[in-house]
Chain A
Amino acid sequence: MSRFRGHHSPPTRRRTTVKFAIALAAALILVVGGYLVGEWLENRSYQEERQQMSENFGLLPTMEYQGQTYMRRPEVTTMLLMGVDQHMDEEPTGSRHGGRADFLLLMALDHKNQKVYQLQIDRDTFTEVPVVGVLGNEVGTRAMQICLAYNYGNNNEERCRHTVQAVQMLLNDEPIELALAVKLDGIAVLNQALGGIRVTIPEDMTVVDPAFTAGATLTLTDAQTEKLVRARMTVGDGLNVSRMRRQRTFLEAATRQLRSMLASDSDFAGRLFDSLEAISSYTNVTRGRLINEANRAYNYDIQPVDTLAAEYKIGAQELMECHVDKDAVTAWLIKTLYEPKN
């Protein structure tokens, strides 16, 4: 398209029609080509765990709530994003020292209704967490802050799996299909991939960075990105719920830019995966799968980030414990993943 700029001869109707047709064809080729490339990459390297067709075929999970039976909607993909307090150059050792998952966001991509739901889970959520013995063997569960689930495992894949299992247990054993654990100090890499995220600072954070005055709109540098999403103790009331609000500000801004770049650049999803791969500690999402999910969902209606109603109290360890309302869990699942069974 750009080579037609500066062409000064008056456009005729026929010429305009031809240009439009060429542009439409090019757009179609890009979209279809992107999808096929993504599908090829996905099929080449990703072996999904699927049940045999003969086994429980046609049986979708159901749940009962207030006298109504609800059925799982198969067209919704779930993906857990984890921000882990590991450093980029760090590989944890030992079976109980993996680090904490301080940021937990469950995304539900509803391909039927073209909506993206997001649930931010408080890292202080007190719930059963799978744990391992000192030798790395699984020894059941223990109630603790959900962020600690990432500590347990012999490698990042196991730590990721345990965190997913903890979230699943919190959400009435709802299976989560995809998972991506990102090292929090690598979030700057994502900032670079998005060309610098532009945010409005929601509250005075000058104690963290002089540029972070309340209401200031700025394009974050890489270092500022990490400050914005990680700072907690020195800002405001020091509570994690307040940090979660700041993280949502960042997320919303990042999502806007992500959407814009996905719309304008068909290769962006692939490059984004490469960036995420560099800062991830583990993911079961393949490049092709991410490209396909991104290409399908980039123009979906993104719903505001949800949180679960919860009661906060100081626990036996004098640490904040977030006890989520079980009804709130069920209500969220019904809103996003289930539909009434006729």
Chain B
Amino acid sequence: MKKTIALLLVAVMALSLTSAFASSPKNYEEPVTVVTPTPAPAAPAAPAAPAEEVEEEVEAENLVVAVVESEAVDEAVEEIKKMVAEEKPVIEYFPEETQEEVKAVLPETVKAEDLELNEFVGMAVDNFEQVVEEADEVRVIIAFTTKYDPEQEVFPLIGLVDEAGNVTWVLIEAEVQEDGSLMLIIPTDVLEKMGNAASVQVAILSTPQK
């Protein structure tokens, strides 16, 4: 039986929740709301999963997943901007093996060099141990600043950063929600690596907006 944890990020922007009387955040922030239990989504989480597989949701009250400010991400974005200014495709920012991994899952009609990068954020994961033991994957819904179109294909890359600053990129699956947010489907082995990494980055490659 596949065990899934559904985590609902209503809107991604702030790690800490501020009161109504506090000054508003410097930027659009996405507070995290954990909704448990949550009805399982109608569509299977992973396209490869057998249709007869039954999903059971477990509670994840203590799991923390949040979007955070990251200087390393800001620097990476500046680097990508320079590449784009030189008319290089954004996918070339990533290592060749990651590029190949993405190309392998692209629809036939989509060229890798046409992929856009509109979201690239830092992410924090905490209190993940229990979830890793009890579930196979977590689903995290994030309302990024960019509202994605349900017709867009998205390719989230999780960057696991070690103490030396080296980044290992892992391609995961995601679904665009009706409201333009993304449901990231994070296998718990990846979640564990995220929790143990020095820092985590999330880059969302997508087909162009129509």
Contacts and interface: CB of A to CB of B under 8 A. Distances in A.
Interface string B89-125: 0100000000000000000000000001111100000
B48 to A, nearest CB: 30
A94 interface: yes
Nearest to B83: A135
Given A232-B23, A319-B18, A131 B116 contact: no
A133 B117 contact: yes
A233 to B, nearest CB: 6
Interface stretch (A9-17, A66-74, A145-153, A247-255): A145-153
A239 interface: yes
A97 interface: yes
A174 to B, nearest CB: 24
Interface stretch (B6-14, B58-66, B130-138, B188-196): B6-14
A97 B27 contact: yes
A84 to B, nearest CB: 12
A1 interface: no
A233 B146 contact: no
Interface of A is mostly: loop
Given A96-B145, A131-B28, A139-B118, 8 more contacts: A94-B77, A139-B209, A140-B146, A142-B28, A233-B21, A316-B11, A318-B19, A319-B18
B24 interface: yes
Contact of A134 (B11, B13, B21, B119): B119
Contacts of B145: 96, 131, 133, 139, 142
Interface of B: 10-11, 13-14, 17-29, 31, 33, 74, 77, 80-81, 84, 90, 116-120, 143, 145-147, 180, 209
Contact of B77 (A134, A142, A316): A134
Contacts of A124: 24
A59 interface: no
B14 A317 contact: yes
B88 to A, nearest CB: 12
A314 interface: yes
Contacts of B17: 317-318
A99 B25 CA distance: 10
B119 A133 contact: yes
Contacts of B22: 233, 319
A138 to B, nearest CB: 10
A168 interface: no
B24 A319 contact: yes
Contacts of B19: 318
Contacts of A318: 17-20, 31
Interface residues of A, number: 33
Contacts of A137: 116, 118
Contacts of B24: 100, 123-124, 145, 147-148, 319-320
A238 interface: yes
Contacts of A238: 21
Contacts of B118: 133-135, 137, 139
B147 A316 contact: no
A144 interface: yes
For A141, A232, A316, A319, the residue with the greatest tally of chain B CB atoms inside 10 Å of its CB is A319
B120 A134 contact: yes
Given A140-B147, A318-B20, A94 B74 contact: yes
B139 to A, nearest CB: 19
A140 to B, nearest CB: 6
A235 to B, nearest CB: 11
Contacts of A239: 21
A335 to B, nearest CB: 30
B20 A136 contact: no
Interface in A95-141: 96-97, 99-100, 123-124, 131, 133-137, 139-141
A172 to B, nearest CB: 22
Contacts of A131: 28, 145-146
Contacts of A232: 23
A304 B84 CA distance: 49
A145 B13 CA distance: 13
A135 B26 contact: no
Nearest to B77: A134
A314 B24 CA distance: 12
